[in-house]
Structure 1
Amino acid sequence: MNGEFIPAERGVISVRSHGFSYGTGCFEGIRGYWNEQEQQVYLFRLREHYERLLRSCKILRIELPYSVEDLIEISLELVRRNEQKGDVYLRPVAYKGDEVIGVRLNNLTDHFILTSEPMGNYVDLGGMRCGVSSWRRIDDNAIPARAKITGSYVNAAFAKTEALQNGFDEAIMLTHDGHVSEGSAENIFLIINGELVTPSPSENILLGITRDTVIQLAERELGIKTRERSIDRTELYIADEIFLCGTGAQIAPVVSVDHNPVGKGETGPISKQLQDLYFDVVRGKHDFYRDQWCAAAYSKVAQMK
């Protein structure tokens, strides 16, 4: 927290802080995966997550005294200090820390905190039942969706709560133009005629790290290209397969939308292939992607000790 490693119980902020009162902060969610055979925690795509965090900071006029390289090393050190030997979830948060009243972004003090804790699956990976939400996705000209702004997740909370209370597992949100945007906190992919289709960045989506991972894996490993375009609501009802993805959700197949079965109403073959491939990659079991995307928390010297 602000340059110091401290016990979790000391990692608190004032109830009068600007970030708490007005949601003037941004964050990332980063997963680390335990490889039992290698006795190693691999933090997945750290660099890309911190590059996005700094872009979010720029939108919120937050200046951190850290480079991407600094943030990577701090993250690895935190996992080592916690002696974590299992799947973990890191949450870096940059926020306005002043205890003042008044809505603005300028002339405020910027704070930073990073936590690391055990975490398993965030959603059901065996097949999710989704409903199209009555809540619209926030617009870039209101609260930019390309930034992970803490206050903006109230939008997601409205949609997720409505979905749960209506008997669904997750919400699918539309833009104000009625096009498919994303889940409450996940990007979405449809499989139509053997091709991956996903909303374009202009549909008020978060430019997801997992989304980018899926696009690259699908093309490189399965020979399937992705089409980024506007998607109408009714395409959700005729798609061969659908899955949601994100750092928290990972790759979660969707088996129904608004009580309409997706395909045969079960996890489809392409979704299953991508899901299996993804979990091999994030646990460092694929040599090429381990070198490209996985940061090892424990050195061989540390493991020997």
Structure 2
Amino acid sequence: MTNAQEIFMNGEFIPSERGVISVRTHGFAYGTGCFEGIRGYWNEEDQQVYLFRLREHYERLLRSCKILQIDLPYTLEQLVEISAELVRRNNQREDVYLRPVAYKGSQVIGVRLHDLQDDFILTSEPMGNYVEISGLRCGVSSWRRIDDNAIPARAKVCGAYVNSAFAKSEAAQNGFDEAIMLTNEGHVSEGSAENIFLLINGELVTPAPSENILLGITRDTIMKLAQRELGYVTRERQIDRTELYTADEIFLCGTGAQIAPVVSVDHRPVGDGKVGQLGKKLQELYFDVVRGKHADYKDWCTPVYAEVTQHS
């Protein structure tokens, strides 16, 4: 972390170099934890960092905790305030990425979820683009997406991301930018760490929640923006692999990925092989919204520093 002097760990703000866990920690050994990725965007005109859909991220973290039998001693409002305070303490006036992690902190041998100590860490660090946002070349992964009855995809479980790591490395080592994963039934699920949308015959479609997807905050944002601002109602349904080859546009999305148009899948061009118009429009709209420049969506943006006079 280039300029993060402090982190929040188990009830207190501490110097970042003290943010360590034992090698015997249960969450480290067995992946028994869950996390969120939360972006904050710097608005130069407002001199403000806006944390995007902060409450929704923590609502999802608390749902993940419930699935993993983790009991955090913080309310939603306390988590929101802790997050803003951490950015202020680090005096970060740039795009940032917050990572809250709730995990089993007991130092014991034995795989289980019950009767273990629950710990919490929050970090904040500068972050630019996670993936290329001007045109991704994707490959369909040979690794299938984990099933809800194996490791629940609707929770951001730390250990589950080994599944994503297999797919991401396979894609990168095969010359692609990103992977697209299928369910065990062979339907499109999501990227290695992103939800996916396709434009097919003028209709915007995305895999349904039953397709072992993470119910993404950015996914929800796009569905709302596409309908309210551009007139596209998103259809949630099963999507076959070959529809990736015939779609007019495809884009991946997520807190890290933001909105990342796809220009080819398995060496086949998407549309004309260039970033499509819908993807461009959504990108432009999204970046205005997350930086607090769109008045209709200002309630999605939590300001970190003292409130500023809003511009028209």
TM-score (norm 1): 0.98
Inter-partner Cα distance in structure 1 for 2:102 and 2:214: 18
Alignment of 1:119-268 (within 5 A): 119-268=127-276
Q: Equivalent residue for 1:272?
A: 280
Inter-partner Cα distance in structure 2 for 1:67 and 1:204: 28
SS at match of 1:6: strand
Unaligned runs of 5+ in 2: 1-8
Q: Equivalent residue for 1:41?
A: 49
Q: Equivalent residue for 2:38?
A: 30
Q: Equivalent residue for 2:4?
A: none
SS at match of 1:116: strand
Alignment of 1:55-70 (within 5 A): 55-70=63-78
Q: 2:169 is matched by which residue type in structure 1?
A: T
Inter-partner Cα distance in structure 2 for 1:119 and 1:272: 22
Q: Equivalent residue for 1:82?
A: 90
Q: 1:235 is matched by which residue type in structure 2?
A: E
**Match 1:296 to one of 291, 303, 307:** 303
Inter-partner Cα distance in structure 2 for 1:274 and 1:188: 14
Alignment of 1:9-28 (within 5 A): 9-28=17-36
Inter-partner Cα distance in structure 1 for 2:51 and 2:202: 31
**Identity fraction in percent:** 80
What's the CA shift for 1:193?
1.5
Inter-partner Cα distance in structure 1 for 2:62 and 2:202: 36
Inter-partner Cα distance in structure 1 for 2:184 and 2:239: 13
Q: Equivalent residue for 1:6?
A: 14
What's the CA shift for 1:195?
1.5
Inter-partner Cα distance in structure 1 for 2:15 and 2:99: 15
1:92 maps onto 2:100 in alignment: yes
SS at match of 2:142: strand
Inter-partner Cα distance in structure 2 for 1:47 and 1:178: 34
SS at match of 2:83: helix
Inter-partner Cα distance in structure 2 for 1:53 and 1:297: 20
CA deviations over 1:26-52 (Å, ceiling 9, x no partner): 000000000001100000000000000
Inter-partner Cα distance in structure 2 for 1:55 and 1:180: 25
Inter-partner Cα distance in structure 1 for 2:229 and 2:183: 32
Q: Equivalent residue for 2:61?
A: 53
Q: Equivalent residue for 1:115?
A: 123
CA deviations over 1:179-216 (Å, ceiling 9, x no partner): 00000000000001121100000000000000000000
1:103 maps onto 2:111 in alignment: yes
SS at match of 1:70: helix
What's the CA shift for 1:300?
3.8
TM-score (norm 2): 0.96
Q: 2:119 is matched by which residue type in structure 1?
A: H
Q: 1:108 is matched by which residue type in structure 2?
A: L
CA deviations over 1:154-179 (Å, ceiling 9, x no partner): 00000000000110000000000000
Q: 1:36 is matched by which residue type in structure 2?
A: E
Note the aligned Cα RMSD (angstroms): 0.6
Inter-partner Cα distance in structure 2 for 1:88 and 1:35: 12
SS at match of 1:264: coil
Q: 2:305 is matched by which residue type in structure 1?
A: Y
CA deviations over 1:6-37 (Å, ceiling 9, x no partner): 01110111110000000000000000000001
Q: Equivalent residue for 2:3?
A: none
Inter-partner Cα distance in structure 2 for 1:251 and 1:46: 18
Deviating beyond 6 angstroms after TM superposition, the runs of 4 or more aligned structure 1 residues are none
